[in-house]
Amino acid sequence: MDGHFPVALDEKSGVNREVHAPIRGSPGVRFPRATRLKVARAAAESGIHPDVPLGESERVELIRLRAESRDDKSAIAELRMQAAFAGRVATWFAKGSQ
C-alpha cells in the first residue's frame, strides 16, 4: 500500500476492519474549545481562583439549591409514576370496552 486510502468506486464506504476511513473536513471548519478550558481561562482572567473555599453564604445557597433539586427530582418521579399508572388504566379501559 502506498500510504493513500483506497477509493471506493462501487459507492461503498471504504471502511473495513483493515482500512480506516480518513477524517477530512473543509479548510474553514473549526471545533469549539472544551468548556472546561473556557471556565478555567475565565477564572484566570477574573483573578478568582476556582479552588478557593466557599464562603458561608455561598455554602448555605449551595445546600438550599441541592435540597431544591432533590425536591424537584422527587416531584418529577411522582408525576412519572402517575402518568404510567394513568396509561395502564387507559389501556385497561380500552381493552374492557371492546
Residue 69, domain member (yes or no): yes
Q: What is the dihedral of CA 45, 50, 52, 54, to 10 degrees?
A: 120
**Residue 26 pLDDT level (bands cut at 50, 70, 90):** low
**Residue 88 pLDDT level (bands cut at 50, 70, 90):** very high
Residue 58, domain member (yes or no): yes
Q: What is the pLDDT of residue 75?
A: 94
State how many domains the chain has: 1
Find the domain containing 59 and state its range.
35-96
User: Is it the case that residue 19 has pLDDT exceeding 70?
Assistant: no
Over the stretch 58-73, which tens digit does the pLDDT of each residue have? 999 999 999 999 999 9
Buried b (16+ CB within 10 A) or exposed e, 66-88: eeeeeeeeeeeeeeeeeeeeeee
Q: What is the pLDDT of residue 22?
A: 60
**Residue 48 pLDDT level (bands cut at 50, 70, 90):** confident
Residue 84, domain member (yes or no): yes
Residue 72, domain member (yes or no): yes
